[in-house]
Amino acid sequence: MRDLDLKHHFAALGVDPAAVDLYRRLLEDGSVAPEQLSAHGGAGGAEGVEGADALISSLVASGLIAPDGNAAGRYVPVPPEAGLRLLAGRREGQLNEATVAVQRAYREFRRQTRPASADHPVEVVTGPAILSRLKQAEDHAEREIRRLDSPPYYRTRTANNTELDHLARGIGYRVVYSQASLARENYLDGNILPSVKAGEQARVLPSVPVKLSIIDDTVALVSLSISDADVNRTLLIVRPSTLFSALVGLFEVCWKSALPILPSGDVGSSIEPVEQRMLGLLASGLSDEDIVRTLRISRRTFFRYLEKLQARAGVSTRFQLGVYAARHGWLPGEPA
């Protein structure tokens, strides 16, 4: 059986690697019992029948396998759609919990703030001072900048020369973009793709809960509101504290939940560059209209490419195309 590299894809949904090993074996063998796993050295590190039982229980709970109705004590894989929806729902729940935790931490900060305290870990910046404070914080980066990116933007220009300079000096960037970022005119070609080419790790979510930049482990820059305040006039600067730790946790949950923006690596000469980009944008959740505008192609050309890819994969729906693309290396696995 072809190695589908399931660990990479299931890792984003929080499935234990040992459970993925067992799932792969079930896909290969069709049916298996816990004592068989124990007799052959376990599955993915499971030790004995007890360890195999634990892995089987986790896969049953995930909706990926079920008891074999034709053989007592044995288990078989089941169609994955319901299980995958369950796993994705759990990850979304974790993201919601992290968002609530940050909001609670901020409300607690507002209750306890004393304006006369000069050494308070949170500072509010407004008006023209925002741009200079942003630049000052970014210029002090030494290792990594983590960012949740969403409109509106403090700068009107598209290209991010500061990030390109940092990447050239070896400073890492991990950025989670909202779909609204990708839909902004010229932002994908003028900002995101040049940064990715220079070394940025980029992923996308349907939306991000807050605009956020974390500079190393020293300072976080976050908009005071999540949706409807004038974020271009107010910025929250957070230094190491309970709130800072909550913001770091929020970013990491968003990062694990997000999808890579574009296909990476060599997928063979049979896939054209525009088709690679289209697959990545489809996986990112952009609408047909946004993809057509981003790729600068007509709707007729878009559907022609889509039909061509579906025919090549031998499928009839976009969901089936996504599954085929993931299994055959047309889409990236989970980066380390």
pLDDT in tens, 164-197: 999 999 999 999 988 888 778 778 878 888 898 8
Pick the CATH number of 273-327 from 3.90.700.10, 3.40.50.720, 3.40.50.300, 1.10.10.10: 1.10.10.10
Neighbours of 229 (CB within 10 A): 11
pLDDT digits over 207-236, tens only?
888 889 999 999 999 875 445 444 457 888
Here the tokens at position 18 are 């040992």
Residues 182 and 22: their CA atoms lie apart, in Å, by 38
Could you tell me the residue ranges of all domains in the chain? 6-78, 107-260, 273-327
Edge-to-edge strand ranges of the sheet holding 212-215: 122-126, 234-238, 219-222, 212-215, 144-149, 172-178, 201-205, 259-260
Residues 270 and 277: their CA atoms lie apart, in Å, by 14
* Fold classified for 6-78: Arc Repressor Mutant, subunit A (1.10.10)
Instruction: Spell out the SS3 assignment of the chain.
Output: CCCCCHHHHHHCCCCCHHHHHHHHHHHHHCCECHHHHHHCCCCCCCCHHHHHHHHHHHHHHCCCEEECCCCCCCEEECCCHHHHHHHHHHHHHHHHHHHHHHHHHHHHHHHHCCCCCCCCCEEEEECCHHHHHHHHHHHCCCCEEEEEECCCCCCCCCCCHHHHHHHHCCCEEEEEEEHHHHHCCCHHHHHHHHHHHHCCEEEEECCCCCCEEEECCCEEEECCCCCCCCCCCEEEEECCCHHHHHHHHHHHHHHHHCEECCCCCCCCCCCCHHHHHHHHHHHHCCCHHHHHHHHCCCHHHHHHHHHHHHHHHCCCCHHHHHHHHHHCCCCCCCCC
Contact 234, 124 (CB under 8 A): yes
Contact 144, 169 (CB under 8 A): no
Pick the CATH number of 107-260 from 3.30.930.10, 3.50.50.60, 3.30.70.1450, 3.30.870.10: 3.30.870.10
Residues 242 and 250: their CA atoms lie apart, in Å, by 12
What per-residue confidence (pLDDT) applies to 215? 95
pLDDT tens, per residue, the chain with 336 residues: 444 566 666 766 667 777 777 777 777 777 767 676 654 444 544 455 567 778 788 778 777 788 877 777 788 887 777 677 777 777 777 788 888 888 888 777 666 655 444 457 888 888 778 888 888 888 889 999 999 998 877 665 667 888 999 999 999 999 998 888 877 877 887 888 889 889 999 888 888 888 899 999 999 998 754 454 444 578 889 999 999 999 999 999 999 888 777 644 444 446 777 887 788 777 767 788 888 888 888 999 989 888 888 888 777 777 677 667 766 667 544 433
Domain 6-78 identical in fold to domain 273-327: yes
In this structure, the chain runs to a length of 336
